[in-house]
Each structure stands twice: as structure tokens, then as C-alpha cells.
Amino acid sequence: MTKKQKKPWPTKDVMHQIYDMHLWGGKDFDFYSGEGSHNPEIINPYLDAIIGFLNAFAEKITVCDLGCGDFNIGKHLATYSKKYTAVDIVETLIERNKKLFKKDNLEFRCLDISKEALPQADCIILRQVLQHLSNAEIQSTLKKLEAFKYIILTEHIPVGSFTPNKDIISGQGIRLKQNSGVNILEAPFNFKIKNEKQLNKYVLDDKKGRIVTTLFEVF
């Protein structure tokens, strides 16, 4: 007899475990969203690019940050938006963020972005979130993103050519070890857009890959 395969944990439970056990590092922090949210070499050029985009509008636009994490990034961006809604799947993290970060135009909400309705906004920010999700969860999320005008998507992908969108079980890891990464324009997603523009790129090295931020304008 073969052993029954264990069902993967629900994504909400996985993300709670990641923060509870500090699987992304930051032992001295209460919550820590990883080096990609704290290393100045990575985040400062990213912030410059996003703030430049937001400042290009004559009137401030509304922003929804999906997967806001410990808010070490979002705290710098809320000022440049008319309203900034920060979303994460981890309840304890959202409750912590509500206590630490307060602005008149800032709201925190706990949602599973693949299963629940998303807040209205002009622009979606998705920073290194899809890379942790299964293809089914990505597909479900992308269907909702068709309703937004702008999507600023950041993904950690291999350097050079790679096979896009190999499926994974949602969790701490990403597709990099499989020489894969998320590309929403490729199969099986084939997300339809009007325009795209690369806003920022940070290359770690040939083995650790690159972090690429792209602005998509949706039909």
C-alpha cells in the first residue's frame, strides 16, 4: 500500500507559520517580510520608481497593496496616494500594522486575495506575492485584476531564459530552483494588457536571480 499524500496546508495557515517561525528571517523583529522588503539596495530604487509613477498624475490616485506584509515598503508609499488600502492574509500581521501605521488615507484589511473580493482602486501593487502562490491561486487572482487600470507587479525570476509558470504548492518557496518564475502574460495565464513598462530591476546574481518590477496598463 502506498501512503496517502498529505494535503497541502491552506495558504492562510502557511503564511501564518512563515511569520510565526521567522522563515523569512528577522529573528529580532515581531514580523519580517524578508530581505526583499528591508535591504536598502533593493528597496530604495524600487521606492524611487513607484513614487515617480504615482507623482506623474496631476491628481493623486487610489492604490491597493495586495500582500502588504510588514509594511516596511508601503509606509513610504501611502503619502503619494489619495487612498492606500493595504491587504494581507495574516490576521495578526494586519492587526499589528493597524496599531503601528496610522494615516487618514490608510486602511488595512485582512483578505485572501485569491478567494475574496478586492477593494476598489486605480492601481494594484503586487510585490513578490504571486511567486509564492500555486497556479490555481494566481489564475483566480488575475481574473479579479482585470477590473483595475494599473498593476505594478514585482516578481523574483531567474537570470536569462527560463520556463515560466511551473506550478508549485503555495508556501515559503518560489519557482527559482526549478529555473522558473511567474510571467502573467504567458500560459497558462495569458493575461491581456494594453501596455507594459519595466520600472525597476535588481540583479542578485546568476544563481539567486533578479527582482523585476513591471507596470501593466490593463484594457
DSSP codes of every residue in 16-77: HHHHHTTTTS-TTSSS---GGGT-HHHHHHHHHHHHHHHHTSSS---EEEET-TTSTTHHHH
**5 pLDDT above the threshold of 70:** no
Within a domain: 35: no
Within a domain: 83: yes
Q: Which residue has the higher pLDDT, 159 or 9?
A: 159
pLDDT of residue 171: 87
- Per-residue pLDDT, averaged over 11-18, amounts to 91
pLDDT band at 75 (very low <50, low <70, confident <90, very high): very high
Within a domain: 159: yes
- Per-residue pLDDT, averaged over 99-109, amounts to 98
Which positions ≥6 away from 18 have C-beta within 8 Å? Answer: 24, 171, 172
CA-wise closest residue to 63 among 47, 49, 74: 74
Within a domain: 70: yes
Residue-number span of the structural domain to which 119 is assigned: 40-217
- Per-residue pLDDT, averaged over 22-33, amounts to 94
Within a domain: 177: yes
- Per-residue pLDDT, averaged over 40-57, amounts to 98
pLDDT band at 34 (very low <50, low <70, confident <90, very high): very high
Task: Tell me the torsion sign for CA atoms 96, 101, 102, 105.
Answer: negative
Question: Could you give the residue ranges of the DSSP H alpha helices within the chain?
Answer: 11-20, 40-55, 74-77, 91-100, 135-145
**76 pLDDT above the threshold of 90:** yes
pLDDT of residue 145: 98
Within a domain: 145: yes
- Per-residue pLDDT, averaged over 183-193, amounts to 98
- In tens, the pLDDT along 140-156 reads 999 999 999 999 999 99
Within a domain: 120: yes
pLDDT of residue 140: 98
Q: Which residue has the higher pLDDT, 3 or 198?
A: 198
Total number of domains constituting the chain: 1
pLDDT band at 114 (very low <50, low <70, confident <90, very high): very high
Tell which phi-psi region holds residue 129, choosing left (phi > 0), alpha (psi between -120 and 50) or beta. Answer: alpha
Q: What is the CATH number of the domain that holds 100?
A: 3.40.50.150
Instruction: Quote the CA–CA distance of 122 and 86 in Å, as a whole number.
Output: 14
pLDDT of residue 51: 98
pLDDT of residue 172: 84
Within a domain: 13: no
**214 pLDDT above the threshold of 80:** yes
